Amino acid sequence: MATVVTKVRRSFGTHWYAWAMVLPVVIVLAVLVGYPLGRGIYLSFTDANEANVARTIGVNHIAATYEFVGLDNYWKVLSGQEGHFYSRLTWTVVWTVACVFLHYSIGLGLALLLNRKVRFRALYRVLLILPWAVPAFVATFSWRLMFNEKYGVLNAFLTGMGLDPVDWLGDSTLQKLSAVAVNVWLGVPFMMVAILGGLQAIPAELHEAAEMDGASPWQRFRHVTLPGLRPVSGTVILLGVIWSFNMFQVIYLLIGQGASSESEILVTYAYRLAFQGVRDYAGSATYGILILSLLLVFATFYRRMLARQEAAR
Amino acid sequence: MSGTTTPSPRGRGQRSRGASVALHTALVIASLIALFPVLFIVFVSLRGRDGWQEPTKFTGFDLSNYTHILGETKFLTWFGNSVVVALGATVVGVLIAATAGYAVSRMRFPGQRPLMWTFLVVQMFPMAVLIVPLYTILGRLELLDTHAGLILTYCSVSVPFCAWMLKGYFDSIPAEIDEAGRVDGLTPFGTFWRLILPLARPGLAVTGFYSFITAWGEVAFASQFMSSEEHYTLAVGLQTFVGQQKAEWGLMTAAAVLITVPAGLVFFVAQRHLVAGLTAGGTKG
């Protein structure tokens, strides 16, 4: 009887405590994320732009004159009237898939190599992690210098080998390839370290048992290593997709902030809508909400898929 | 390999000479690719203002790029701004998020799952969702172009991120410690404050470091919100070296080196724990 009473009391106490302890975060999230998100959703239903939002010029305060337009913005974007959404979306998806696939497969390959007994393993590990230690904006600028058509080191190598120089950041296909290369260079170390952690968590006995049973190296990889990596892979792939989909710095700083370019992904396009030319706040907000919705749908399905795989095992 | 007592002609860990060569070749090539851009930037930075135009020559080494950016540009101011803003966002983030991370890790309470879900979802927010509303809100509060404004902006990222990471760390601390605390008559907060927090110190450090690095490298918000040169962060300032009209790549490379060295040193100390934290938070969500 006494234990029941204490149990009830304790659960009551912990609930109060829990709420009190999460309160600061809830407040911060409500103010800094919830409210702006609400504003963003609202803006996406209006025709707000630079010319009609509330602003102060000198001492004069001009009230906002933008209007509620319902789903107009979404209709314009999704029906293709606005003209940029589907091409940007296609490229963003290609970009994300390419980046995550290369991150993961190269990361996995290097992790498998590093997980063996190799001489100089510690040295290799440090060298391979190096790109991660470079802030993305610094790395992007550095690559831009290396990609430079006239004075870049890559073209110096090419001409040194008797080949023609390439305008790496010139036409849109090469721009895209260059951007993927930079992002892969930046992102592989994280994947490698994460997967290496996962590999080391697989009990050696499993490999030994499989070997005793006469499994070939490929079979061991397929039936011991890959399933053992599943928890780590699930998380890093999700993170990778989110990060690549929203990757702003690389695209924005590599390709430049100039005129419209086909190599822009959705995020950089939304940014440019909001802050270049006639600032289209409503259009930018619409794109923002659409990007977020796409990621949410993906994450939900992805996690559900992982849970189902987990259950099927 | 512990426990392998049966000797086999070629067990795991041993391989033929050819395989060994292939293994090392692959690792060396990968290492070169990882290393080359970094070395190249250091190399260019040491070759004077116009050395970048001759990327394959090994002449004309001097430190003029470094003396120039330290003496005649606002580099040090920008550096200071970046430190203030990133540190501000990190400290606020860790302080506010620690209790919440603990509560979510240890207690079952109504609203717990939605809260965890919120932490995760906020990580997915593309900056495009928040940038326009935050811009107008900060404008109204007259916080545009101030450190405080940018710190607040970064807190929208760092607070949920820190809560998420710290939850993962608290999960890795055995629950028996909490029970011991409770037996000794500590309140849940007392347990958290006296027992768990000291144990989680490495986790706090790594979380803080990660959120610092994120704020340190942020480009989009800083480029729009900080409009006067005095208030630029490094990510914005660096863009002025290589803009539409100017191409001071020599200065850019010297700045790049100065930015990367301190961050890189701390990074190598912390990196082992970084991944553990991120993936732990994810798998147990």
Closest chain A CA to residue B247: A145
Give per-residue pLDDT as tens, B36-81: 999 999 998 998 877 787 777 777 788 888 998 898 888 999 999 9
**Taking the complete model, does pTM exceed 0.90, yes or no?**
no
Measuring CA to CA, how many Å separate B277 from each of A126, A173, B33, B188? 19, 37, 27, 23
Give the pair of three-digit tokens for residue B74: 């606002």
Q: Which of A25, A144, A208, A238 to probe the B interface (max B CBs under 10 A)?
A: A25
Q: Report whether pLDDT(B137) > 70.
A: yes
- A205-209 contact pairs (CB < 8 A, 24+): A205/B3, A207/B12, A208/B1, A208/B3, A208/B4, A208/B12
Mean pLDDT score across all residues of chain A: 86
Tell me the C-alpha distance between B238 and B218, whole Å.
Answer: 12
Query: How far A131 CA lies from chain B's nearest CA (Å)?
Result: 6
Q: Report whether pLDDT(A1) > 80.
A: no
Give the pair of three-digit tokens for residue A202: 């697989």
ipTM: 0.82
Place of tokens 């790109």: A131
Give the pair of three-digit tokens for residue A56: 């102060």
Indicate the pLDDT class of residue A92, thresholds 50, 70 and 90.
Answer: very high
Query: How far B59 CA lies from chain A's nearest CA (Å)?
Result: 15
Give per-residue pLDDT as tens, B115-134: 988 888 888 888 888 888 89
- Asked if B259's CB is within 8 angstroms of A135's CB, the reply is yes
Indicate the pLDDT class of residue B284, thresholds 50, 70 and 90.
Answer: very low
Mean pLDDT score across all residues of chain B: 83
User: Biggest alpha carbon distance in chain A?
Assistant: 89
3-state secondary structure A254-305: HHCCCCCCCCCCHHHHHHHHHHCCCCCHHHHHHHHHHHHHHHHHHHHHHHHH
CA-CA-CA-CA torsion sign (A215, A216, A219, A224): positive
Q: Which residues does residue B47 pair with via DSSP β-bridges, in sequence order? A: B62
Give per-residue pLDDT as tens, A267-303: 999 988 888 878 888 999 999 999 999 999 998 899 8
**Chain B hits for A204, Cβ within 8 Å:** 1-3
Nearest to B107 among A14, A253, A274 (CB): A14
Q: Is the CB of residue B67 less than 8 Å away from at least one CB of chain A? A: no
Query: How far A173 CA lies from chain B's nearest CA (Å)?
Result: 22
**Chain B, window 188-207: residues with a beta carbon less than 8 angstroms from a chain A beta carbon:** 188-189, 192
Closest chain B CA to residue A269: B128
Looking at per-residue pLDDT, the higher value among A304 and A231 belongs to A304
Give per-residue pLDDT as tens, B186-200: 888 888 888 888 888
- Asked if A129's CB is within 8 angstroms of B268's CB, the reply is yes
Q: Which of B129, B166, B214, B252 to probe the A interface (max A CBs under 10 A)?
A: B129
Residue A115 exposed, middle or buried by CB count within 10 Å (0-12, 13-18, 19+)? middle
Nearest to B283 among A28, A211, A231 (CB): A231
* B6: DSSP letter: S
Tell me the C-alpha distance between A200 and B146, whole Å.
Answer: 46
Q: Which of B124, B162, B214, B242 to probe the A interface (max A CBs under 10 A)?
A: B124
pLDDT value at residue B172: 82
Give the pair of three-digit tokens for residue B98: 């620690």
* Beta carbon pairs, A and B, within 8 Å: 292
With a pLDDT cut of 70, the percent of chain A lying above it is: 93
pLDDT value at residue A100: 96
Indicate the pLDDT class of residue A111, thresholds 50, 70 and 90.
Answer: very high
- Assign 3-state DSSP to chain B and report helix, strand, coil percentages, each to 5: 75, 0, 25
**Chain A hits for B163, Cβ within 8 Å:** 25
pLDDT value at residue B154: 92
- Show Cβ contacts of residue B174 under 8 Å, excluding neighbours closer than 6 positions: none
Question: A244 near A228, Cβ under 8 Å?
Answer: no
Q: Report whether pLDDT(B15) > 90.
A: no
Burial letters A17-46, b for 16+ CB under 10 A, else e: bbbebbebbeebbeebbbebbebbbebbbb
Question: A241 near A248, Cβ under 8 Å?
Answer: no
Q: Is the CB of residue B25 less than 8 Å away from at least one CB of chain A? A: no
Burial letters B21-44, b for 16+ CB under 10 A, else e: eebeeebeebbebbeebbebbebb
Lowest-confidence segment of B26-30, B153-157, B260-264, B278-282 by average pLDDT? B278-282
- How open is the CA angle B53-B265-A237, to the nearest 5 degrees? 90
Closest chain B CA to residue A44: B129
Q: Which of A12, A21, A121 to probe the B interface (max B CBs under 10 A)?
A: A21
Give the domain ranges of chain B. Answer: 18-62, 73-283
**Ordered structural domains, chain A, with CATH:** 2-62 (no CATH), 72-312 (1.10.3720.10)
Closest chain A CA to residue B50: A151
Query: How far A104 CA lies from chain B's nearest CA (Å)?
Result: 15
Q: Which of A10, A29, A178 to probe the B interface (max B CBs under 10 A)?
A: A29
Lowest-confidence segment of A1-5, A126-130, B44-48, B181-185 by average pLDDT? A1-5
pLDDT value at residue A298: 93
Find the DSSP H helices in chain A: 2-29, 35-44, 72-78, 85-114, 121-133, 136-147, 153-160, 172-201, 204-212, 217-220, 226-245, 249-255, 266-275, 281-312
Nearest to B97, CA basis, from B192, B193, B167, B162? B162
- Asked if A24's CB is within 8 angstroms of B96's CB, the reply is yes
Can you tell me the mean pLDDT for B224-234?
90
- Residue A184 CB neighbour total at 10 angstroms: 21
Displacement of CA A202 from its chain's centroid (Å): 27
- Asked if B2's CB is within 8 angstroms of A207's CB, the reply is no
Tell me the C-alpha distance between A234 and A56, whole Å.
Answer: 49
Tell me the C-alpha distance between B190 and A272, whole Å.
Answer: 49
Q: For domain B73-283, give the fold.
A: MetI-like fold (1.10.3720)
Q: Is the CB of residue B7 less than 8 Å away from at least one CB of chain A? A: no
**Chain A hits for B38, Cβ within 8 Å:** 130-131, 134, 142
